[in-house]
Amino acid sequence: MPNIGFMGLGNMGKALIKSWKHMENVAISGYDIDRQKVANLQEETGIDAVDSLKELTDSNDYLVLAVKPYQLQEVLAEIKDSLRDDHCLLSIAAGIKCEQILNWSGNRCPVARVMPNTPALINEGVFALCLDDPRLDEKQQEFIQTLFAKSGKAHILQEKYFDAFTALIGSGPAYVFYFLESLIEAGLTVGLNREQSRDMVLSLVSGATQMAEEGSQSVSELREMVTSPAGTTIQGLNHLDRQGVKSAIIDAVTAACNRSKEMR
């Protein structure tokens, strides 16, 4: 039975535990310096609580590094001497590359790097999984994919694409909320009240997304279905094109990608 230990029980760690706690033949334990946080999560999910990082390391096969990026080096220094070659480190620490994790952990076991986005908090996450470490065997790779598929959709990506993923998907919820905010404000501008506008816009986006997911047509074809000659929609789209909205979105993702590379 695979044993999974969480080092850090913040929002993302808590969300993953809630997704994984019902998996058959999987045991989950956790450690956090905040003992009240551990007690609360233990009561809420039934996970086993441990009293030290060493105890967590000794009793688990997969170690989820769910601490803040600035804490990761210190945590790995503390557990390094307890790591075995049959351990597997799963890091969700943003911006910390596999090479750095291997250096800090003494290169004692394989590392998989995971980049989540915030909808993982409601089991609708999109995850990039870096399984580049050649020491990850087929069984470990399959298990890691199974784990994160429980919390959303998992995509295997080489680490060199993580900056692109961060810019598009990691930052993506903020772009979507920005778009939603803009549509809601537009509803106010044309006379709807805020509650009406919010409810209508959220339903609009949910329905449109479902059409894109379930249909066989491309998003361009779906857009064309709504766009009648000389109608209201083409007037709105023409204005967006004159304002360079599509180019601005592409430029925004590119700027975020460049920033991600600068922050390494």
Strands (E) across the chain are located at 3-7, 27-31, 48-49, 62-65, 88-91, 111-115, 125-130, 152-156
Instruction: Give the residue from 108, 143, 162 where a domain finishes.
Output: 162
Q: Using CA atoms of 128, 129, 132, 136 in order, give the dihedral in degrees to the nearest 10.
A: 180
How many structural domains are present in the chain? Answer: 2
Structure confidence by residue, pLDDT tens digits, 110-141 = 999 999 999 999 999 999 999 999 999 999 99
Contact 127, 154 (CB under 8 A): yes
Q: What is the CATH number of the domain that holds 37?
A: 3.40.50.720
Q: Each residue of 234-251: b (16+ CB within 10 Å) or e? A: eeeeeeeeeeeeeeeeee
CATH of the domain at 228: 1.10.3730.10
Final residue belonging to a domain, choices 162, 183, 209: 162
Structure tokens at 180: 């939603």
Query: Are 137 and 29 in a shared domain?
Result: yes
Look at residue 38 in the predicted model and tell me its pLDDT.
85
Domain identity same for 174 and 65: no
pLDDT score, position 147: 95
Domain co-membership, 60 together with 148: yes
Looking at the structure, tell me whether residues 158 and 174 fall in a common domain.
Answer: no
Q: For the chain, list residues with pLDDT below 70.
A: 264
Is 137:91 a contact under the CB 8 Å cutoff? no
Task: Tell which of 110, 142, 162 closes a domain.
Answer: 162
- Output the pLDDT for position 44: 86
Instruction: Looking at the structure, tell me whether residues 140 and 180 fall in a common domain.
Output: no
Full-model pTM: 0.91
For residues 145 and 176, membership in a common domain is answered with no
Q: 136 is written with which tokens?
A: 């990850």
Res 134: pLDDT: 96
Range(s) of the domain holding residue 66: 3-162
Question: Of 10, 6, 11, 100, nearest to 53 (Cα)?
Answer: 6
Q: Tell whether 140 and 19 lie within a shared domain.
A: yes
Same domain flag for 198 and 73: no
